[in-house]
Amino acid sequence: MPKVKYHSLENISYQSGWDLQTELHNVLKENKLAWRDLPEEEKSKKKQVHHLLFCQHNHVYTLGKSGSQDHLLLNDDGLSASNIEYFKINRGGDITYHGPGQITGYPIFDLDEFFSDVHKYVRLLEECVIQLLDTYGITGYREDGFTGVWIQPKETDSPKRKICAIGVHLSRWVTMHGFALNVNTDLSYFKNIVPCGIADDDKTVTSMESELGKKVDQEEVKMRLKSIFAQVFEFEFIEEEY
């Protein structure tokens, strides 16, 4: 069973989080290269230490490699005045927001020790969030043609609401980037972008706070989600935490 180290990082800049992801990602890739030519008996004894990072970032917009710059509705002066950072990054997907009140999760997994299937990986990320929401009485679902987790409209003429965005990057079957779950997120920050590049009038963003009508204990959400990840991806946590 894969072994995973858990990292909880509060009020971390996006650059610092990206640097840590990259460092951990590179270690797993370097291990694979170093072990590649070992005898099979010796290679079978080598096991990766995978990582699961739950971060709360400072205000930042990130644009994926397939996204459009036009989906950022602020210029440089507007970003500076609002104290919001902006990064073009190497994950899939379009533009999104990260910030306080949100859990941004980065699994750094060598999928060769789980399963070699990108589609399954993304679906399981969604499944973890769907199961987490269910423990709070919120029904999440997958919207055909879109990644992430959505909430069904309360009324027929109400928009569909996205509560969790997903964008990943893989190299040599090692993952980075991941998901962004809106817990107590200030949703006004999404007004400065076209979230995930989706401009449809019948789709918007939401948060657990918005759905439940009250603040949610974010630490409790993290602990529940951490446990669900272990069950869904079938791994064990290493006790040491960061």
Q: Are 118 and 170 in contact (CB under 8 A)?
A: yes
Q: Sort 96 into a burial class: Cβ within 10 Å, 0-12 / 13-18 / 19+.
A: buried
Q: Are 169 and 90 in contact (CB under 8 A)?
A: yes
Q: Is 164 a catalytic residue?
A: no
Distances (CA, A) of 87 to 14, 29, 84, 178, 187: 8, 24, 10, 16, 19
Separation of alpha carbons 144 and 28, rounded Å: 33
Find the catalytic residue in 55, 128, 164, 196. Answer: 196
* Nearest residue to 59 (alpha-carbon basis) of 170, 185, 155: 185
- Please list, in sequence order, all residues whose beta carbon lies within 8 angstroms of the beta carbon of residue 185, skipping any fewer than 6 positions away: 97, 99, 100, 101, 102, 207, 209
Q: β-strand 60-63 against 85-88: which pairing, if any?
A: parallel
Catalogue the active-site residues.
196
